[in-house]
Amino acid sequence: MKNAKIIIKQLLKAVIHLQEANIFHRDIKAENILIETGSKVPKIYLIDFGVSCFDDLKNYKHFHGTWVHVPPEFDRQGFHSSGPTNVWQVGLVLYYILHKKQFFTRGFLSKRLKINTRLSEKCKDFLTKCLTVDPEKRPTLEELLHHRWVDFSKNVSNFFLMQILLSFLFCKTYNRYVMPHRPLQAYFTVSQLRKADHVLSY
């Protein structure tokens, strides 16, 4: 469980940084997170900014990302905004890590996907808050960063955050950002590591 907390805490910090820079990733998912496995503490790298954009804090009437991960407000009302969408996508990453299965919004809303009752109360509370259906009741990324489940230690150094932020060179192309190079083979995606059943501990 500790490594899951470390991964999510680093992810929260990375997305908060993007948010402060007015960048909306739009497709945060397990396949777009690399984990460096050569150190005692996993270090994550958020990749694939191919559908990202500058965020003008408006309601978006088009969804760009993985359709099965669409936030419920877009599915029901036809629009969504960056802040609540970021939180929803952090939640679906954590769901995937903890449950060993892909998350899809309609399955969750129809109760076909459920949160494991054997998770700790703190973990269930964190995940439930991320996956709150009403976007206005969803917490902010900053609030989640101080949630009692992830605020377990001050030892998650800012060094790791700097590794995330400085690892990517962004190229501005038609109001989007793209990765200018392929990731090194020394890194694995969250989904690859989950299938291999190592590095992540629960």
Which residues are catalytically annotated? 27
- Using CA atoms, how far apart are residues 100 and 94, in angstroms rounded to an integer? 10
Q: Phi, psi (5° rounding) for residue 60?
A: -90, 130
| Contact by Cβ (8 Å): 50, 168 | no
| Contact by Cβ (8 Å): 145, 17 | no
DSSP string across 52-72: -EE--S--BSS--S-GGG--H
DSSP string across 85-122: HHHHHHHHHHHHHHHSS---HHHHHTTSS---TTS-HH
Instruction: Sort strands 53-54 and 171-173 into parallel, antiparallel or unpaired.
Output: unpaired
For residue 85, which of 132, 50, 46, 39 has the smallest C-alpha distance? 132
